[in-house]
Amino acid sequence: MDEFMEEMNRIVNCKYCGRPTLYGELTWLNGKCMCPRCYKKEREKEDGDDNRRDTQMARQSLPG
Pick the binder of Zn ion from 8, 17, 22, 29 (CB under 5 A): 17
Q: Give the binding-site size for Zn ion (rule: CB under 5 A).
A: 5
| Three-state DSSP class for residue 41 | helix
Is position 42 an interface residue for Zn ion (rule: CB under 5 A)? no
Cross-strand partners of 12: 21
- For residues 58 and 22, what is the distance between their CA atoms, to the nearest angstrom? 39
Is position 16 an interface residue for Zn ion (rule: CB under 5 A)? yes
Nearest CB to Zn ion, comparing residues 17 and 22: 17
**Contact yes or no for 41/50 (Cβ under 8 A):** no
Binding site for Zn ion (CB under 5 A): 14, 16-17, 35, 38
